[in-house]
Chains A and B, each alone.
Chain A
Amino acid sequence: MDSGEQHLSSFLSLALVLAALLALTGLTVAMSYVDLGRFNVPLTLGIAGTKVSLVLLYFMHLRYENRAVVYSFLGTIGFLAIMISFTFWDVAFR
């Protein structure tokens, strides 16, 4: 069932992702000096999420994997999200 094909990323695309990651890290550091009130946490988490996605998609090749691997990964994220959010049915209303 294994096709055995491997995707080789170009140096240019990897370098661009690295540059994007560094830029986003710089943005996170810069944001720590600015008080955005209630937007602080969502924006910082948004940047972190973007960085994680870039690493997963390009460095960990999720973008080039078949559907089974992608769905497995998304299933894991969904499971974790449910575990955390359902716990808040208790904690938030206790």
Chain B
Amino acid sequence: MATTPSFFETPAPAGLTGIKAWLLTHDHKRLGLMYLWAVLFWFALALVIGLLLRLELMTMGRTIMSAGVYNSAFTLHGVIMIFLFVIPGIPAIFGNFFLPIQLGTDDVFFPRLNLLSWYLYILGGLLAIVSLFTAGGFPDTGWTFYVPFSIGTKHNVPMTVFAAFILGMSSMLTGLNFITTVHRKRSPNMGWMQIPLFTWSLYATAWVQVLATPVISITLLLVIAERLLNIGLFDPGRGGDPILYQHLFWMYSHPAVYVMILPGMGVVSEIIPTFSRKAIFGYKAIVFSSMGIAIAGSLVWAHHMYTSGMSDTAIFVFSLLTFLVAIPTAVKVFSWVSTLYKASIEMSPPLLYALIFIYLFSVGGLTGLVLGAAGPDIHVHDTHFVVAHFHFTMFGGTGFAFFAALHFWWPKMFGIMYNFRRAYIAATLTTVGFLFHYVPMFILGMMGMPRRSYDYLPQFAQGNALATVGGILLFTGIALMLVNLLLSFRSRIAAPANPWGGCTLEWTVPSPPPLHNFLRQPDIQDYPYDFTEILRKS
């Protein structure tokens, strides 16, 4: 197996060399890596912007930027993090790379469409950058582009929302590709209940991407039409309904929260059994909870709108429905913890990140109940409590799952190991920084500090100073983590095919995998998390 040429040495289509072998590739693994570098670039940029925002809030009044720059900066931070990092991160990178391998096949169903998705992603990102410097500069609306402000502001809203529209197309095409691949290209010997949980989570995510993304795409185009043609759909001055915009926006953007978190849950569902050397507890429960989250998560969008002037009936219904989503989510957390119970646990950087994920995401989920209940939400709506909750779920959840996935599959993708000691230090620093960064925001929110405000009252000074210290620690931890991974290219310690003792199909192929993934038709286990053979060999 060691002599098998990897996909790095085998371009697809054959005959392409140099940069062309990457820019014109049809290979899902190369595309996964192309997404990796692009996503990491955007993540680093948004991270720096986030740090600058936090430095601005370190002291009262002006610290390092003006109020106008601050408004554009938090919009840019949100747009990049949401549309260019959190949504595409895990599916586009690890989904592209590992979904076909976990299904026992050689590629996705539409390889060329996969390449088009990548180009649309790059185009969307470039348009967002161009909008920074054209026609009034980057929007100051926040990433939600709420009307009527987004219709009236002089900033370059049309180009930015068009960039989000293009990114939505990329997301839809990736989702379509994954659904088709699961149905049409998985190994003939693999039944539905033999599919690994990461792929199941991508499948559930893909349905949300395909069904919900068109809603936001059309809505964003309507904002452009409203600005350019004065139609009067959303503008109350012309008889429009601004709350209708919020409905249409959140019809996508709340399910999008599950597009962000479901793949992360899939990652954790792979890591926990691997390092517990034990079959995952409740495989079917996790499968059905993934689909349950995808469905129930699509019915709760208006819980973002309790203070918008929506009817009391709608508030009651959406609040009730919101509590339903907690059930399948809790099923997953229960299953992960039960898998760890009495297991032969082997600590490793991926497992540490996965455990931190469970803790941070649980805090995020529980604080979500405060916001989902219509009564308490009135008091903390649009305060820093929401900022903290959102970051606990999306950063503590998806972000840490992304870091876990990076450390779990890095040896498989590049065939090299990284330094464990530095990885542990980085994970600890990042977590301590995270807690010092966001816990004060919960308190600030309950004290009444509004989100997105440039300045604040003296009673909020201490909390903001503490949050800034946490932010600097968090930034340092993430920088160390990324540097540690990059340093592995210099030390080049070769990774074996199965460094962790995993039992899904990606661990049966060489590291890095060959062009067509498998040298022969893979054997499919009756149960994807059967560690009998792994334990027998160890």
Interface of A toward B, CB cutoff 8 Å: 1-2, 68, 72, 75-76, 79, 82-83, 86-87, 89-94
Contacts and interface: CB of A to CB of B under 8 A. Distances in A.
B318 A89 contact: yes
Given A76-B211, A89-B314, A90-B302, A83 B251 contact: yes
Contact of B183 (A1, A82, A87): A1
A94 B309 CA distance: 8
B311 A86 contact: no
B185 interface: yes
A87 B184 contact: no
B317 interface: yes
A89 B313 CA distance: 6
Interface string B289-320: 00000000011001000000111111001100
B45 to A, nearest CB: 34
Interface in B164-214: 179, 183-186, 188, 207, 211-212
Main secondary structure of the interface of A (DSSP, over half): helix
Contact of A90 (B183, B207, B311): B311
Contacts of B247: 87, 90
A38 B86 CA distance: 49
B307 to A, nearest CB: 13
A79 B186 contact: no
Contact of A1 (B188, B244, B318): B188
Contacts of A94: 309-311
Main secondary structure of the interface of B (DSSP, over half): helix
B256 to A, nearest CB: 14
Nearest to B241: A91
A69 B445 CA distance: 47
B129 interface: no
Most chain B CB atoms below 10 A, which of A2, A72, A79:
A79
Contact of B317 (A1, A76, A79, A89): A89
B186 A1 contact: yes
Interface residues of B, number: 25
A73 to B, nearest CB: 11
Contact of A93 (B188, B215, B314): B314
Contacts of B251: 83
Given A75-B211, A79-B211, A90-B247, 14 more contacts: A75-B207, A79-B212, A79-B298, A82-B299, A86-B299, A87-B247, A89-B311, A89-B313, A90-B310, A90-B311, A90-B314, A91-B311, A94-B309, A94-B311
B326 interface: no
Nearest to A1: B184
A2 B311 contact: no
A1 B180 CA distance: 10
9 shortest interchain CB distances as A-B pairs: A90-B314, A93-B313, A93-B311, A89-B314, A94-B311, A90-B310, A79-B211, A1-B184, A89-B317
B243 interface: yes
Nearest to B309: A94
B299 A90 contact: no
Contacts of B310: 90, 94
